[in-house]
Structure 1
């Protein structure tokens, strides 16, 4: 299902040049609303991650508990994503996003009251955090599908790049901002969530709550619809090729992101400052890459360009893993970030352009899942590092990911035509 799209988007597809072309999609009123809501929601997501992580650490003073909480919430969110995709196909997508935002307001309100009253306990964080993982996952496929619904096919590549840009801005600014707020008051991140999610709901509301008629007929058994979505993606050679490339990179190589604190301390000897700089450089690179891609949204042969971006990024990780000087590690992550910012956006663009509309929500949910498997891959990478050390461990995983992706692209060459 999708929202009813006003005529204003059709007026915004005129040829542009320079900076105007880079932000062309923002000329569409409905996309501006969606972008504002997405920015607010992603800041709220980071407030939740930082706030709950800080609470777990304050309550337990245990890195093991912190890891266990992150793993638990990550797995719950991952498992909830297919059902969220089904909701995006069965219900008005704007309504799904608004419901998820308002549910987050309720959960953050409960958490804030518990913290301010001094009654907060670890089991509260686990239960509320688990429910929050479900509500956050519930809105993601619908929000991704709305990018398609409020733009034209000509504007879609630009819109996907700008949507990713908005999320990366929140990723760059959110962690340090809410880290400071959490240090001031344990409840501050949750109070921020309340305001940010209400802003998100208000921004999405003008997109309309009335859905178009379903292209795939009346709703059927939910389990059957979930199965139909999985079967559609994994039987479509193009979508399966895209999924396998992202899944491989995510589960084999991308867990290196969770090791920034260890790398900064043990290899670079830069401590928490180095950790923050590594994180910032990767984020800044992604933002620049997305701006470049938004300006090149009319490109052809997106599949080969996407694949090239993945290999450049993997090369950047490999170089980073061998660096022992902070500024060289930062430079490697920055250059690799440019590539993966473009690669991720091209991945979602190709999914959006190829998928059937009646399967859009479920297909985008599966596409999103492929990007989330890095939480599962952290365990095998950690075991490898325990055997050979952090630098060699990251390098071995990057080489393995590159080889697997190379095999996938040779066996399944559909991406070449995209």
Structure 2
């Protein structure tokens, strides 16, 4: 297995925290109080958040943005492959985009704290639409070159990185404490719908004309811009002007490091990104070597994860502001690890599909609950920087892929993926033992 070409290719000391500004700095408590537990619990409908006009617009914009991101990723990857016929070039383009997200993430969070989030969403969508339209023109006129792909990958990565914290913080801005979990779950449904439909839709368009895929991207980002323009402006915590941006970025990290619960929630977000989710890169190998299939089987394996995620998120949206969120988070991630480990032991395709769908269900619920707990507990004037740090944890998957590739190369795809899952399981157990503030939430 180690020589299989498919596998080879799967490749500050504490400081004082500044006093919060006098306006709107207390974290918004969930319906059950600041701990997210006991207290009153109002039953809400599955689509409760859709009663808000702004949430409907934001949901539509999130859906359009998701389709545009999949279209850009798949279209750009195919374009690079057509131009170069090189796996190395594909990896380099992906690396430049991914590393920028990690480096610029904290500054994107500061942007969401300093400036109106609605304006950020409008601006990033407008630039994203423009760059896609220019790239489409270059492709359709046969003027595109490889270096263009690097430029547009970088521009797209910057826009996506800047959009994330502003959009996620805006979900909190337009939600009541008791509907925040519902809003986060429904917003995640939009992302998963685009994950199911976006790749095959883009594949069909690319098969017809690569340039048309970027026209689609430009149109979807244009829709995202228009929905953002229709949103109402929202008040944000007052900010002191003239402070050095680097100082504010480090203030954000110091604040997060000083809050016990936020530290553990960030760890629970990073663990699956590092040690579990990278197994998706090896799905083509599972499809071919374990289940003796091809592209169709690969498509089903990936799709079942998204289908399970949607089922889990709709269930959570129906439940609303659940009590004992820490139990949902920790239990959901443990079940996710157990189910992926079980998947690695299977050789019956239908059983594997059912296992992955269930894994997607548990992980989607755990991640949405984690996001809700984080948004509820982070200080209002630090919300953008907090969500940026949260997103940075989700962006650790490429690093985890390096570790899992080593294990797969050494032990084979089934055992290598399983060993990485077990590392995550140990990490979650440690959080259960030592993360009392999360366990009792």
TM-score range, shorter chain: over 0.9
What secondary structure sits across from 1:217 in the alignment? coil
How far residue 26 of structure 1 moved from its aligned partner, in angstroms, is: 0.2
User: What does residue 29 of structure 2 align with?
Assistant: none
Question: Does residue 140 of structure 2 align to residue 116 of structure 1?
Answer: yes
User: What does residue 270 of structure 1 align with?
Assistant: 293
Question: Does residue 54 of structure 2 align to residue 34 of structure 1?
Answer: no
How far residue 219 of structure 1 moved from its aligned partner, in angstroms, is: 5.1
What secondary structure sits across from 1:155 in the alignment? helix
8 Å Cα contact 1:89/1:358 also seen in 2 = yes
Question: Does residue 202 of structure 2 align to residue 173 of structure 1?
Answer: no
- Report the structure, 1 or 2, having the larger helix content: 1
8 Å Cα contact 1:255/1:375 also seen in 2 = yes
User: What does residue 129 of structure 2 align with?
Assistant: 105
Instruction: List 4+ stretches of structure 1 deviating above 4 A.
Output: 14-17
8 Å Cα contact 1:264/1:270 also seen in 2 = yes
What does residue range 300-319 of structure 1 map to in structure 2 within 5 Å?
300-319=323-342
8 Å Cα contact 2:237/2:380 also seen in 1 = no
User: What does residue 17 of structure 2 align with?
Assistant: none
Question: Does residue 80 of structure 2 align to residue 56 of structure 1?
Answer: yes
Equivalent residue for 2:284, pick from 247, 261, 267: 261
How far residue 259 of structure 1 moved from its aligned partner, in angstroms, is: 1.2
User: What does residue 168 of structure 2 align with?
Assistant: 144
Residues 332-372 of structure 1: CA distance to partner in whole angstroms, max 9, x if unpaired?
10110110110111111011111111000000111111112
What does residue range 11-410 of structure 1 map to in structure 2 within 5 Å?
21-209=45-233, 212=235, 214-218=237-241, 220-410=243-433
TM-score of the pair, normalised by structure 1: 0.93
8 Å Cα contact 1:282/1:336 also seen in 2 = yes
- Structure number with greater CO (CA < 8 Å, separation at least 6) is 2
8 Å Cα contact 1:270/1:326 also seen in 2 = no
5+ residue gaps in structure 1? Answer: 3-13
CA–CA separation in structure 2 for the residues paired with 1:299 and 1:323: 34
TM-score of the pair, normalised by structure 2: 0.88
Q: Cα gap change, 1:298/1:359 in structure 2, threshold over 3 Å: closer, same or farther?
A: same
How far residue 74 of structure 1 moved from its aligned partner, in angstroms, is: 1.4
How far residue 331 of structure 1 moved from its aligned partner, in angstroms, is: 1.2
Q: Cα gap change, 1:410/1:15 in structure 2, threshold over 3 Å: closer, same or farther?
A: closer
8 Å Cα contact 2:114/2:239 also seen in 1 = no
8 Å Cα contact 1:289/1:338 also seen in 2 = yes
5+ residue gaps in structure 2? Answer: 1-20, 24-40
CA–CA separation in structure 1 for the residues paired with 2:301 and 2:378: 36
Residues 78-102 of structure 1: CA distance to partner in whole angstroms, max 9, x if unpaired?
2221111000000000000111101
How far residue 64 of structure 1 moved from its aligned partner, in angstroms, is: 3.0
User: Number of residue pairs matched?
Assistant: 403
8 Å Cα contact 1:81/1:369 also seen in 2 = yes
What secondary structure sits across from 1:67 in the alignment? helix
What secondary structure sits across from 1:274 in the alignment? helix
Residues 112-139 of structure 1: CA distance to partner in whole angstroms, max 9, x if unpaired?
1110111111111011111210111111
CA RMSD, aligned part only? 1.7
What secondary structure sits across from 1:187 in the alignment? helix
What secondary structure sits across from 1:108 in the alignment? helix
How far residue 384 of structure 1 moved from its aligned partner, in angstroms, is: 1.0
Moved more, 342-351 or 244-253: 244-253
CA–CA separation in structure 2 for the residues paired with 1:37 and 1:253: 29
How far residue 16 of structure 1 moved from its aligned partner, in angstroms, is: 5.9
